[in-house]
Structure 1
Amino acid sequence: MPADRAEASTRHPRHQRRGEARLPAAVATLVAIVLYLALPQQLLVAPRFVVPVLEFALLIPLTAINPRRVTRQTRLSRVLSLSLVVVIAGTNLGALALLIHDLVAGAADSGQALLLGALQVWLTNVIAFGLAYWELDRGGPVKRTQSGRSDFPLADFRFSQDENADTVEEVAAGSSVKSDWVPTLVDYLYVSVTNSTAFSPTDTMPLSSRAKVLMAVQSVAALLTSLLAIARAVSVLK
């Protein structure tokens, strides 16, 4: 990309961008809902259908505002989208607290059910925090695609594409500077997966205080889930 073209991409809103597809975020949310519905009874933080109904109630207007592409944002849609993430993450952390209690106390009738519940909590943890990073970084999905870089809020994360402009040509061509690259939901889910498996940042670094706090909470939650599930599995298999 010529230098003047790259410079222009940082100054002018990218109205030609189509925006991210709504489907991946909707599917991720639906998977989180199904995982909650399938939790063992002792890990539910509310009656089984209350939380999923609330999540559906938040998802439906978001889909109505942006049915195919996430290109429009209103104050209401922003509140709804952040509320949906809070509900998913909050109820899953509540389920994790109940899981820890049952694993430590050994109160569950079925060890296998608790192990399956631990996997469901871990997977929901990945989805919830991936959605949180997606909603917060650089102003959210609408801001990232519909505004020029000069209008972005400060970044919460530094991706490898953000610093590849001076590498070999075939790598530099995909960098943020030369291709006007911005992260999508898949990138944030990848960050969430690696943070939940390595219990620390890998190739994407948190920059803001809120990003560091969120990654710390996710890492601790994933670590507790993994350690206690392994301990329970050992006791079940004995």
Structure 2
Amino acid sequence: MGVAAASETYGWPLIALVVVILPQVLVPARMREGPPVAVPAIEAAVVLILLAVAAKPGPVPRAARPLVLTLVAVLIVANTGAAVRLVALVLRSTPEGETPPTVTQLLVTAVTLLATNIVTFGLLYWQIDGGGPDARRVGAAPYPDFQFPQTDNEGLAPPDWQPRFPDHLYLAFTNVVAFSPTDTLPLTHRAKGLMAIQSMISLAVLVVVLSRVINILPP
């Protein structure tokens, strides 16, 4: 690549994380099941790191990317654990004297988990694809992890086009709702594995929760 593209802003990742954190903090606990307090706490830590990276002039420090990747990985594990607990709650028999979860609790919890799933995996795809945003900018990585239509077909974008966070966030969104890639293809084993994990999480939440909600709702 002849000329390096402009540095990517961290504004969109920050906005996406804040949008996900707010319902987890503001929605009363009686209206949802989980996620645990650790999930929004980890998200807040990622926001602070991204703010520090965005505020620092010059190139992004090399130490920032592994730290962000680690925090995002922990966040994905925590959200996956919350999804497992939700599925277990829906499948188990409600003990006598205990109030079963309501439709509102199930729907709010499912939406929160799926939104966190989309944002966290979008952040992960953004950070690993081609070595991350700064590696993609200078063409440091020999091969990308995802094949976007703009990189495969001439005339759809400028010659120096590179995917940015909204592209990876959309990829994560379509993988949740379609359980498969749509216009963007995973090329590496790690990309395929991560997309499979994300799809399994969303499938478990959607199938189990929606089936329970349908059973609860009056005919």
The equivalent position to 1:110 in structure 2, one of 98, 102, 116, is 102
Please say which of residues 57-66 and 131-140 is displaced more in the overlay: 57-66
1:90-101 matches, within 5 Å, as 90-101=77-88
Q: Does residue 229 of the first structure (1) align with residue 209 of the second (2)?
A: yes
Per-residue CA distance 1:140-197 (angstroms, 9 max, x = gap) = 112222x1x3x224211001111112xxxxxx151xxx52100011111111111111
Flag the 1:209–1:90 CA change in 2: closer, same or farther, 3 A: same
Segments of structure 1 that go 5 or more residues without pairing to the other structure are 1-9, 166-171
Per-residue CA distance 1:47-92 (angstroms, 9 max, x = gap) = x2x44334323432332222288x6232320122102311321211
Number of the residue aligned with 1:44: 34
Q: Secondary structure in 1 aligned to 2:24? A: helix
Flag the 1:198–1:158 CA change in 2: closer, same or farther, 3 A: same
Give distance in 1, aligned partners of 2:28 and 2:173: 21
Segments of structure 2 that go 5 or more residues without pairing to the other structure are 95-99
Residue pair 2:106, 2:213 contacting (<8 A) in 1 also: no
The count of residues paired between Structure 1 and Structure 2 equals 211
TM-superposed deviation, 1:44? 3.1
Number of the residue aligned with 1:213: 193
The equivalent position to 2:174 in structure 1, one of 167, 188, 194, is 194
The code of the aligned residue for 2:20 comes to A
Give distance in 2, aligned partners of 1:155 and 1:76: 21
The equivalent position to 1:134 in structure 2, one of 121, 126, 133, is 126
TM-superposed deviation, 1:40? 4.4
Number of the residue aligned with 1:7: none
Per-residue CA distance 1:99-145 (angstroms, 9 max, x = gap) = 10111125434232122111111111111111110010011112222
The code of the aligned residue for 2:51 comes to T
Flag the 1:75–1:20 CA change in 2: closer, same or farther, 3 A: closer
Give distance in 1, aligned partners of 2:28 and 2:175: 23
Residue pair 1:115, 1:232 contacting (<8 A) in 2 also: no
Number of the residue aligned with 2:18: 30
Give distance in 1, aligned partners of 2:28 and 2:110: 9
TM score, norm. by length of structure 1: 0.80
Number of the residue aligned with 2:141: 152
Number of the residue aligned with 2:151: 162
Q: Does residue 79 of the first structure (1) align with residue 66 of the second (2)?
A: yes
TM-superposed deviation, 1:45? 5.6
- Cα RMSD between the aligned structures? 2.3
Give distance in 2, aligned partners of 1:82 and 1:138: 14
Residue pair 2:150, 2:156 contacting (<8 A) in 1 also: no
Give distance in 2, aligned partners of 1:173 and 1:163: 9
Runs of 4+ in 1 over 4 A off after TM superposition: 39-42
Flag the 1:173–1:43 CA change in 2: closer, same or farther, 3 A: closer
Give distance in 2, aligned partners of 1:116 and 1:134: 27
TM-superposed deviation, 1:216? 0.3
